[in-house]
Amino acid sequence: MQDFEKLGAFYLGKTDQGLLLLDSKDLVTHAVCVGMTGSGKTGLCLGLLEEAAIDAALVERVQAGDRMAFDLLVRKYQHRIIALVQRFVPNWHEAQDVSQEAFIKAFRALPNFRGDSAFFTWLYKIAVNTAKNFLVSQSRRPPLDDVMMDDAVQREGAGRMHDNATPENEFLREEVERTVLSAVADLPEEIRSALTLREIDGLSYEEIAQIMNCPIGTVRSRIFRGREAVDRKIRPLVEG
Amino acid sequence: MSEDIKEQLSALMDGELSRDERAFLLRRLDHDAELRATWARFHLARDMLTHRPGAAPMVDLADRVMAALAAEAAAPQAQATARASRWRPWLGAAIAASVALVAVLSIAPRGGLESPSLAEAPAPRVALPAGVPGPIAPSLNGFGNGVQTVSAERSRILSGPESISEEQLMLLRHAQVSDGTWVVGGANHVYTTPVASGTENQQ
pLDDT in tens, A126-152: 999 999 999 998 877 666 555 555 444
Q: What is the mean pLDDT of residues A219-232?
A: 97
Say yes or no: ipTM exceeds 0.85.
no
Mean pLDDT, residues B160-189 taken together: 41
Q: What percent of chain A has a predicted confidence (pLDDT) above 90?
A: 45
> Any idea what DSSP says for residue B158?
H
- Taking CB atoms and an 8 Å limit, are A104 and B64 in contact across chains? no
Q: Distance between CA atoms of A64 and A61, rounded to whole angstroms?
A: 5
pLDDT at B13 exceeding the cut of 70: yes
Residues in chain A: 240
Q: When comparing pLDDT for A51 and A78, which is higher?
A: A78
Contact B53 A49 (CB under 8 A): no
Query: ∠A26-A28-A29 over CA atoms, to 5°?
Result: 65
Q: Residue B2's pLDDT is what? A: 86
Tell me the chain A residues in contact with residue B44 when contact means C-beta distances shorter than 8 Å: 79, 176, 234, 238
More confident residue, A165 or A41: A165
Return the higher-pLDDT residue of A47 and B196. A47
How far, in Å, CA of B2 to CA of B34, rounded?
11
Beta carbons of B55 and A82 less than 8 Å apart: yes
- 3-state secondary structure string, chain A? CHHHHHHHHHHCCCCCCHHHHCCHHHHHHHHHHHHHHCCCCCHHHHHHHHHHHHHHHHHHHHHCCCHHHHHHHHHHHHHHHHHHHHHHCCCHHHHHHHHHHHHHHHHHHHHHCCCCCCHHHHHHHHHHHHHHHHHHHCCCCCCCCCCCHHHHHHCCCCCCCCCCCCHHHHHHHHHHHHHHHHHHHCCCHHHHHHHHHHHCCCCCHHHHHHHHCCCHHHHHHHHHHHHHHHHHHHHHHHCC
pLDDT digits (tens, 9 = 90+) for A103-132: 999 999 999 998 888 899 999 999 999 999
* 3-state secondary structure at position B146: coil
Of A69, A160, A200, the CB nearest to B49: A200
User: Which pLDDT score, from 0 to 100, does residue A55 have?
Assistant: 92
What are the beta bridge partners of residue B182?
A: B176, B193
B6·A228 Cβ contact <8 A = yes
Q: With 60 as the cut, is the pLDDT of residue B101 above it?
A: yes
Tell me: pLDDT of B192 over 60: no
pLDDT at A37 over 70: no
CB B63 within 8 A of CB B33: no
Please give the average per-residue pLDDT across B17-32, as a whole number: 90
Whether the per-residue pLDDT at A201 is higher than 90: the answer is: no
Which pLDDT score, from 0 to 100, does residue B49 have?
A: 86
Average pLDDT of the residues in A166-189: 86
Q: Write out the H or E segment, with its range, that includes residue B192.
A: strand B190-194
| pLDDT recorded at residue A146 | 53
pLDDT band of A190, cuts 50, 70, 90: very high
Half-sphere exposure of A219 (CA within 13 A, CB side): 22
The one-letter amino acid at B153: E
pLDDT at B74: 81
* Interchain contact B189–A (C-beta under 8 A): no
What is the pLDDT at residue B156?
Answer: 42
pLDDT band at A9 (very low <50, low <70, confident <90, very high): very low
The stretch B18-36 carries a mean pLDDT of 91
CB contact under 8 A, A234 and B41: yes
pLDDT at A206: 92
- pLDDT on residue A142: 64
User: Residue B130 — very low, low, confident or very high, per pLDDT cuts 50/70/90?
Assistant: very low
CA distance A205 to A198: 8
User: Mean of the pLDDT values across residues A158-162?
Assistant: 43
Residue A203 has pLDDT above 80, yes or no: yes
Q: What is the mean pLDDT of chain A?
A: 77
Q: How far apart are the C-alpha atoms of B100 and A83, rounded to whole Å? A: 67
Q: Which of B42, B62, B64 sits opposite A231 (nearest CB)?
A: B42
Average pLDDT (B27-32) is 90
* Mean pLDDT score of chain B: 60
Between B72 and B197, name the one with better pLDDT. Answer: B72
Q: Which of A12-26, A216-230, B157-171 has the lowest mean pLDDT?
A: A12-26
Hey, are the CB atoms on A157 and B48 less than 8 Å from each other?
A: no
For residue B50, the model assigns a pLDDT of: 80
Contact A152, A124 (CB under 8 A): yes
> Residue A41: what pLDDT?
44
**Interface mutation vs chain A, best among B17, B41, B60, B72, most A CBs within 10 Å:** B41
Residue A77 vs residue A172, higher pLDDT? A77
pLDDT at B160 over 80: no
Share above pLDDT 90 across residues of chain B, in percent, rounded to a whole number? 17
A80 vs A34 pLDDT, higher one? A80
